[in-house]
Structure formats: C-alpha cells, structure tokens
Amino acid sequence: LNVLDPGFNLHLREDLIQDVWVVEKPTSDGVVTSVEAFDARGELMAMFFGARKPGQSELQAWRHIVAHLQAAAAGQPSGAVTA
C-alpha cells in the first residue's frame, strides 16, 4: 500500500501484516482510538489515529471509519459494528 501526498508518504507491506487491532486509549480529552498493525513477530508496523488537536475530542468521523473497518473485518454488512 502506497500513499503519496504532499507532506505525507506511507509505504506499507500488506503481505507482512499478521494482526490488526483497534485500541481505545483513555486521555484527558476522552477516548482516542487507534488502528495498529503488527507483523508475525508481534512488532508494530503502523499505527493510525484520526486527526485531533490537544484539548479536542476525537472526531466522530474517525470513529465511524474504524467501526466500518471492524464490520468489514468481521464479514458483516457495512452498517454493523462489532464490540
């Protein structure tokens, strides 16, 4: 997977991803959700967060994206959310 934008480049070997986790982390601004990818040795390959500034809550749009990813991974319709 290659993402090339002005000011941002991402090169991720999807074939080396073993596990992907959705992690909810408590902060002073509320819960922050990340999507984290690990290789077969358990090493962190990538960590994704929604855009957020200190003092602001996580965007509902990011939580919606993560919920759709979880539903797709579980083989459910796109409107479904898994716990």
Please state the pTM of the whole predicted model. Answer: 0.78
Residue 49 lies in a domain: yes
Q: Per-residue pLDDT tens for 12-25?
A: 899 999 999 999 99
Residue 50 lies in a domain: yes
Q: Quick check: helix, strand or coil at residue 10?
A: strand
| CA atoms within 13 Å, Cβ hemisphere of 27 | 16
Q: Per-residue pLDDT tens for 38-57?
A: 999 999 999 999 988 888 99
CA distances from 12 to 3, 37, 66, 83 (A): 9, 10, 18, 27
- Domain of residue 39, residue span: 18-83
CATH at 32: 3.40.1570.10
**CA-CA distance, 65 to 6, in Å (whole number)?**
23
Residue 10 lies in a domain: no
**CA-CA distance, 69 to 56, in Å (whole number)?**
23
The encoded tokens of residue 16 equal 């080396």
Domain count, the chain: 1
